[in-house]
Chains A and B, each alone.
Chain A
Amino acid sequence: MLKRILVTALAAGLGAGVFVSLVQMMGVHPLIIEAETYEAAAPAEAAAAQSKNGESGENGANGMPSWAPGDGIERTSYTVLANMLTGFGFALLLSAALALHGRPVDWRRGLVWGLAGFAVFGLAPALGLPPEPPGVEAAPLAERQLWWLGTAAATALGLGLIAFAPRRLLKAVGAIVLILPHAVGAPELEAHGGAVPQDLVQAFWVASLAATALFWLVLGGLAGFLYPRLA
């Protein structure tokens, strides 16, 4: 059983990771590069934001030069590698869900699982923390990471209860859990700022969510196709 989950996750995750890399190269990466020109043009603001982060104990590229992949093929290679690993990570969660659910699955049902994955890890966190290109000021990192993780967990639990709980009362609890993180609200800055133009921020928001949605559909379809064949 473990081998079946691992092999499904490996094949579907790496496949979806390579696929989303191609999508990102066309639709997302150019926006990141464009945003970085604004980020680099506002070093004073960026330095101020970083020292703020430093004081509250979060990361931020500190003043010291640290390793980063060189622009071009090296940077692209690391991005593809990170996408493949991220794909494998999400695919492990999805394949584990298929195993726990235990019902027959095919690529069509896999697409539905993929949509659920997009809702949990893409859409729900983005409702409070919109995908942002580099150079946009935001609330402290640790607070945003905590809200992101909490929202993904609550959305997974909420959707699971709504879809699979045997009693209506539990389904209602699921709906409340689903809404809860948005009622609490994502951490926000009092004053929004940053050097990146608003239309670029919005274009990134759309491109990032679209790429993530395609990633989850491919991941779900592949996992749903492969899982029954590896029995």
Chain B
Amino acid sequence: MTGETRTSFEPSAPVRAAHKTVAVVPALVAIALGVFILIGTGFAQPDALHNAAHDARHAFAFPCH
């Protein structure tokens, strides 16, 4: 965590660059987890998954049926 230094102003460019480097791996992990979950709720084929998420799929306009 980088919560030690409190800044109420915009961080300088090098600070932002360092922040971005720190953020890359956690962000990629979060994206992978998010895609995995969305494949399950929105796209996966097994009937039980499809039927359980059926109304949510239609409402979010995931291609269904």
Q: A: which residues have CB within 8 A of B?
A: 1-6, 9, 20, 24, 28-29, 32, 53, 58-62, 66-69, 75, 78-79, 81-83, 85-86, 88-93, 95-97, 99-100, 102-104, 121-122, 125-126, 129-134, 138, 141, 144-145, 148-149, 204, 208-209, 211-212, 215, 231
Known: A32-B55, A102-B19, A212-B60. A89 touches B41 (CB 8 A): yes
Contact with A along B29-46 (1 / 0, CB 8 A): 111011111101111010
Given A68-B51, A79-B59, A138-B63, 20 extra CB contacts under 8 A: A2-B26, A24-B55, A29-B59, A53-B65, A66-B47, A69-B51, A79-B53, A82-B55, A85-B40, A85-B41, A92-B37, A96-B30, A99-B27, A99-B30, A129-B61, A130-B61, A132-B61, A134-B54, A208-B60, A231-B1
Contact yes or no, B58 A208, CB < 8 A: yes
- In the assembled complex, which residues on chain B have CB atoms less than 8 Å from the CB atom of A88? 34, 37
**CB atoms of A102 and B23 under 8 A apart:** yes
Chain B interface helix/strand/loop/mixed: helix
A residues near B61, Cβ cutoff 8 Å: 122, 125-126, 129-132, 208-209, 212
Q: Is the CB of A92 within 8 A of B23?
A: no
A83 contact set on B, CB distance < 8 A: 56, 59
0 or 1 for each of B6-17: is its CB under 8 Å from A? (1 = yes): 000011000010
Inter-chain CA distance A93–B37, complex, in Å, is 11
Query: Cβ of A215: which chain B residues have Cβ within 8 Å of it?
Result: 60
Size category of the binding interface on chain B: 35 or more
Between A and B, 24 residue pairs with Cβ closer than 8 Å are A3-B1, A5-B27, A5-B30, A29-B55, A32-B59, A67-B48, A79-B54, A82-B41, A83-B59, A86-B60, A90-B38, A96-B34, A100-B20, A100-B24, A102-B16, A122-B60, A125-B61, A126-B61, A134-B54, A134-B58, A141-B65, A145-B43, A145-B62, A208-B58
With contact pairs A92-B37, A122-B61 given, residues A67 and B51 touching in the complex (Cβ less than 8 Å): yes
Report the minimal beta-carbon distance from B48 to chain A, rounded to whole angstroms: 5
Asked whether A92 lies within 8 Å of B58 as measured between CB atoms, the reply is: no
Are A211 and B59 touching (Cβ within 8 A)? yes
Nearest Cβ distance between residue B61 and chain A, in whole angstroms?
4
Question: Which listed residue, A2, A75, A100, touches B55 by the CB 8 Å rule?
Answer: A75
Answer whether A144 and B63 are a contact pair too, CB < 8 Å, given A1-B26, A2-B30, A82-B53: yes
Report A-chain residues with C-beta under 8 Å of the C-beta of B63.
129, 138, 141, 144-145, 148
